[in-house]
Structure 1
């Protein structure tokens, strides 16, 4: 039984996709706080609690787009998984790319899951619901196990 809000970091540069994701998780059954950052540089600053994110909460899960400005999501994933303070955070790649090389590279970089964003609204909401159902209801997340 979840007794606290699940902290979700959404790394997404597309405002429409970010809004859809926020709405989908707001409608969910699990209490959550979703923080949105718009690029890879912001994501790493947030995770490392650098300004302006010095008070950032340690996320329980990261939803990561691959095609980001300033620092690509592939680089962000590699940095997260090579950092002893961050590597335990599950990373769900949520991206428009269906390229086999992106899928293989994400898993080689230790992504925990790879999901291609559907373009249809109803399918997108189903994907968000599936993420919530699996990652926030069934999986035991290492909240607070490592504090940066």
Structure 2
């Protein structure tokens, strides 16, 4: 599976799917502290995330995200439900996804190839680790990968 390529020089649209207001605040603060200037959108549950991704309801004019930060455990759903929907949708299948897991979940449970995620971070998120991973994705997905017509 290939992943989405970005337009150089354009800020990325990042969708954070997270139900914990404290974690949302932490991610916003990390973006600010690290001077990550991409646009951060937030969905707090599966339905809101799927509405955003599919531009339905109040999200009719929402941009397609360039990256999804996905909390694995959401009210009445798991991140697997959202990932499955994304990977089975032609418009969304190439959007990179970083799964945010509970600290007790770890590598033993998450097989990235099986769940079709691109990376995962264990919560609570270590600020340096989070910033490093976002910067790596930002560099790789926004700078290194380009469609042949972009060169």
Could you tell me which residue of structure 1 aligns to residue 3 of structure 2? Answer: none
Could you tell me which residue of structure 2 aligns to residue 55 of structure 1? Answer: 61
Could you tell me which residue of structure 2 aligns to residue 78 of structure 1? Answer: 84
Count how many residue pairs are aligned between Structure 1 and Structure 2.
137
CA contact (8 A) 2:15 2:68 kept: yes
Could you tell me which residue of structure 2 aligns to residue 146 of structure 1? Answer: none
- Does 2:109 match 1:107? no
TM-score (norm 2): 0.81
TM-score (norm 1): 0.83
Structure 1 vs Structure 2 CA RMSD: 2.2
**Displacement over 3 Å in runs of 4+:** 140-143
1:99 CA displacement: 6.0
Deviates more, 1:107-116 or 1:37-46: 107-116
Q: Deviations over 1:51-86 (max 9, x none)?
A: 010010111100001100133211111111111110
Structure 2: gaps of 5 or more residues: 1-6, 147-151
Pick from 125, 128, 131 the counterpart of residue 129 of structure 1: 131
Could you tell me which residue of structure 2 aligns to residue 37 of structure 1? Answer: 43
Q: Secondary structure of 2:56's partner?
A: coil
